[in-house]
Amino acid sequence: MSAGIGIRESGLAKAERSDVGDGQRKDGFEKSGSVVALNPDSRIPGSAGDAVADYLKQHESKSLLRFITCGSVDDGKSTLIGRLLHDTQRLFEDQLAALDADSRRHGTRNGEIDFALLVDGLAAEREQGITIDVAYRYFGTERRKFIVADCPGHEQYTRNMATGASTADLAVVLVDARKGLLTQTRRHSYIVSLLGIRHVVLAVNKMDLVGFDPDVFERIVGEYRELAAKLGIEHVQAVPLSALNGDNLTARSAATPWYRGPSVLEHLETVDVGRDAADLGLRLPVQWVNRPHQDFRGFAGTISAGRVRPGDEIVALPSGRRSRVQRIVTADGDLAQATAGQAVTLTLADELDISRGDVIAGAAQPAQVADQFAAHLLWMDATALLPGRSYWLKIGARTVTASVTEIKHKIDVNTQAQLAARRLELNEVAWCNLGLDQPIAFEAYRDNRELGSFVLIDRQTNATVAAGTLDFALRRAENIHWQPVDVDKAARAQAKRQKPRCVWFTGLSGSGKSTIANLVDKQLHALGHHTFILDGDNVRHGLNKDLGFTDADRVENIRRVAEVAKLMTDAGLIVLVSFISPFRAERELARELFGAGEFVEVFVDTPLQEAERRDVKGLYAKARAGKIPNFTGIDSPYEAPESPELHLATLEDDPQALAQRVVDFLRG
Ligand SMILES: Nc1ncnc2c1ncn2[C@@H]1O[C@H](COP(=O)(O)OS(=O)(=O)O)[C@@H](OP(=O)(O)O)[C@H]1O
Ligand SMILES: Nc1ncnc2c1ncn2[C@@H]1O[C@H](COP(=O)(O)OP(=O)(O)O)[C@@H](O)[C@H]1O
């Protein structure tokens, strides 16, 4: 299955085609309010899958509109959704839950993936352990099918809303006529715009409580239009509403003779949110490579933009290799042409090395390729984002390693004010620079939601910690290439007759890192080895003198030292690194810089109580007296290694014996 809903395998990266607009426009509203009979009781007996298949068949030709509702319960959101569903005979959620694999298969036939994904997408969210509370509801009228994402308005709202909004083309923003625009309205509208939704229905609700006064309505609409203009929301349809009484909800109301626009449902049925994806350059993110036997090699995926015909010249990204399309293969036979939204398998005239996660693009309008970006990020984890820490970045079917290289500013989602920040907390949004370990094919989110959005995944817990949108590529690394050198690491190591290593001592302050590293150094040196010690205290006097002891600074401290240690092993040295290095993630990052067997993690294990008793530098006493903030073990965490190469318990052996164990390990 290629795509999902919301934060599924790649969260925001899943913007499905919602092919609304094509030939679905109507000329008037005279038939408004008429609904498709979808009484669950009247279904033929059989599995839920049969019912869904029937339903989809019946509605195959109709376009689909995905939308989201924003606002709190008080604003009338539940009433609005409840009434819409009631009036259009909703498909009950418990029946959704009953859908089995069978029905999913039905659902994915004929390119109609929507219904199956409802279930599939949510299941995947659960698998990932993300607690996102978004209910997707499905309903239809004679003119159109709808999926509405209902996000409950509690404290995790930003995250929930982003999930729901990521695949939506329209947002219904509810405002209480008595209260006008609230901070919350601004926040929701900001997220709506951030996620590329261009159409808003401003539902000014509870008009009955202000006597259906057109002045109240006009004032609110005027204010909202100002906000929408600032946020770049292009289309706003304002509707005076009483969700409770149904005024202007599914049909226009006699209570607002001064209002000439459509009811909410009429607008939803007819609004054209189409960005004609078929007219753009071809984009086929490759979901899998289909190679059933020697003579067939096809690249399968759902076309996210553009169209393709046999004979078209394509370019595989990021490699940039070109070829021509030979066949467009589908389960129902070969096609003469395929367009955005269709799931196809392409075969090519040449043997190109294309793998899952690559993008096949039209040669005339290829997507860009880059490894550094300016991006918006919504942080969704209780543990803060720290620049420099490495995460998995998942975009489409591609997973790479990435880190935030710089937080430009965070954005107050209530006021849109830009604030300085060195870390990001739960639900915060920021504009950042991102660095990837390899180039990817991408598009700006505003041009292609699928190729322009990503999620970050914690490498240790596998939890999805952020969702983001790519704004543009940073060109800074474009002209920097690896300079090949003739005397390489192996040659240098051989000259020194040793295996280069990075011996990484980690432990609390005063645990004994420096003492043991120093003894190891002396012994190795005496044995004729070429060594060097990198010690936290020393490096912090020079290279890292701009860094303090916040989590963010420690991450950067370790990143730099790991890079320096790497250069030193390239020079053929045995490097002894002695830093507290309190976080597992950064020690892992350091490990990954080195080849197999080169990195030796040494846990200098001294209980806090003992380190504090020794208090070599008197720092613990100061920290306890509140004179040193963020002191490791006191008010800053230390994450002990889980499987270090060496575990030295300093209460059990003296420094000399422990140093000997390290030397033996290295020479063993
Ligand atoms: N707040 C706070 N927390 C911990 N340590 C502190 C702090 N302030 C100063 N110091 C002194 O700095 C030394 C630790 O620096 P590191 O670079 O090893 O720290 S870290 O790896 O970035 O966490 C550490 O040296 P060691 O005792 O040799 O570990 C301390 O002497
Ligand atoms: N078994 C041991 N291993 C290492 N150091 C020990 C041991 N027992 C006592 N110590 C003492 O603990 C102190 C550790 O300080 P230091 O090596 O500077 O620690 P760190 O570099 O981890 O901050 C030294 O004074 C050392 O003599």
Q: Could you identify the atom of ligand 2 that is nearest to the CA of residue 505? A: 22
Counting ligands in written order, the one closest to the CA of 549 is 1
What is the structure's pLDDT at 102? 34
pLDDT greater than 60 at residue 512: yes
Instruction: Tell me which of 394 and 43 has the higher pLDDT.
Output: 394
- pLDDT at position 141: 83
| Residues 19-29: tens digit of each pLDDT | 333 333 222 22
Q: How confident is the model at residue 157 (pLDDT cuts 50, 70, 90)?
A: low
Residues 6+ apart with CB under 8 A from 559: 388, 586, 589
Mean pLDDT of 486-515: 94
Is 540's pLDDT higher than 60? yes
Instruction: Write the pLDDT tens digit of every residue in 622-655.
Output: 999 999 999 999 999 999 999 999 999 999 999 9
With a 6 A CB cut-off, is 196 part of the ligand 2 pocket? no
650 lines ligand 2 (CB under 6 A): yes
State whether the beta carbon of 557 lies less than 6 angstroms from ligand 1.
Answer: yes
Binning the chain into helix, strand and coil, the percentages to the nearest 5 are 30, 25, 45
If you measure from the C-alpha of residue 487 to the centroid of ligand 1, how many angstroms do you get, rounded to a whole number?
A: 36
C-alpha 615 to ligand 2 mean position (Å): 9
- The pLDDT assigned to 21 comes to 32
* Centroid of ligand 2 to alpha carbon of 649 (angstroms): 11
Q: Which amino acid residue places its CA nearest to atom 14 of ligand 2?
A: 512
Find the 513 Cα to ligand 2 centroid distance in Å.
Answer: 7
Band of the pLDDT at 50, cuts 50, 70, 90? low
- 536 Cβ inside 6 Å of ligand 1: yes
Split at pLDDT 50, 70, 90, the class of 192 is: confident
Nearest CA to ligand 1 atom 11: 537
Cα(147) to centroid(ligand 1), Å: 54
545, two tokens:
């003198």
Write the residue with the smallest CA distance to atom 13 of ligand 1: 537
Predicted pLDDT of residue 633: 96
Most confident among 267-276, 292-301, 448-457, 584-593 (mean pLDDT): 584-593
Cβ(631) to ligand 1 under 6 A? yes
Q: What pLDDT shows up at residue 228?
A: 93
Q: What is the atom index within ligand 1 of the atom nearest the CA of 507?
A: 29
Q: Spell out the residues 6+ positions from residue 28 whose beta carbon is closer than 8 angstroms to its own.
A: none
Question: Is residue 149 over pLDDT 60?
Answer: yes
Mutate to test the pocket of ligand 2, among 602, 614, 620, 660 (most ligand atoms within 8 A of CB): 614
Closest ligand to C-alpha of residue 652 is: 2
pLDDT band of 413, cuts 50, 70, 90 = confident
Q: Closest residue (by CA) to atom 3 of ligand 1?
A: 631
**Looking at the chain, how many residues does it have?**
668
Q: How high is the mean pLDDT of the chain?
A: 81
- For residue 89, is pLDDT > 90? no
Kind and range of the H or E run holding 589 = helix 584-592
Identify the pLDDT of residue 476.
Answer: 59
Q: Is the CB of 517 under 6 A from ligand 1?
A: no
What local confidence, expressed as pLDDT, does residue 110 receive? 39
Distance 120 CA to ligand 2 centre (A): 55
Nearest CA to ligand 2 atom 11: 512
ipTM higher than threshold 0.95: yes
Q: What average pLDDT score do residues 197-210 get? A: 95
Residue 667 has pLDDT above 50, yes or no: yes
Determine the 3-state secondary structure of 536 from DSSP.
Answer: helix
How confident is the model at residue 571, as a pLDDT?
94
* Spacing, Cα 565 to ligand 1 middle (Å): 18
Is residue 118 over pLDDT 50?
Answer: no
Q: Decide: 380 and 424 in contact? Cβ < 8 Å.
A: no
From the CA of 518, the nearest ligand is: 2
pLDDT value of position 480:
60
Strand order in the sheet with 646-649: 531-535, 574-578, 501-506, 599-605, 646-649
For the annotated catalytic residues, the residue numbers are 581
Please tell me the predicted confidence (pLDDT) of residue 509. Answer: 97
- Distance of alpha carbon 666 from alpha carbon 67, whole angstroms: 61
| Ligand 2 pocket member 513 (CB < 6 A) | yes
Could you check whether the bond before residue 318 is cis, i.e. omega within 30 degrees of 0?
yes
For residues 498-527, average pLDDT: 97
Cα–Cα distance, 227 to 243 (Å, whole number): 24
Please choose from 514, 515, 608 the residue to mutate so as to test ligand 2's pocket, defined by most ligand atoms within 8 A of CB.
515
C-beta of 514 in contact with ligand 2 (< 6 A): yes
User: Which ligand is nearest the CA of 548, by number?
Assistant: 1
430: three-class secondary structure by DSSP: strand
Dig out the tokens for 484 from the structure: 């090949």
Identify the residue with better confidence: 77 or 143: 143
Per-residue CA distances from 368 to 251, 470, 493 (Å): 46, 12, 40
Structure-model confidence comparison of residues 150 and 99, the more confident one: 150
Per-residue model confidence (pLDDT) at position 75:
73
- Residue 572 or residue 230, greater confidence: 572
Q: Whose CA is nearest to atom 16 of ligand 2?
A: 512
Q: Residue 56: pLDDT above 60? A: no
What pLDDT, on the 0 to 100 scale, is given for residue 380?
83
Is any ligand 1 atom within 6 A of the Cβ of residue 549?
A: yes
Question: Is the minimum distance from the CB of 655 to ligand 2 under 6 angstroms?
Answer: yes
The ligand minimizing its distance to the Cα of 520 is 2
Residue from 207, 5, 237, 219 nearest 122 by CA: 5
Ligand 2 binding pocket includes 512 (Cβ within 6 Å): yes
Task: Give per-residue pLDDT as tens, 166-182.
Answer: 778 899 999 999 999 98
Query: What is the secondary structure of 155-192 as a DSSP string?
Result: TTHHHHHHHHHTT-SEEEEEEETTT-S-HHHHHHHHHH
Angle between helices 101-108 and 114-127 (to 10 degrees): 130
Rounded to the nearest 10°, the torsion over CA 601, 607, 611, 612 is 150
Residue to substitute in 386, 504, 509 for testing ligand 1 pocket (most ligand atoms within 8 angstroms of CB): 509
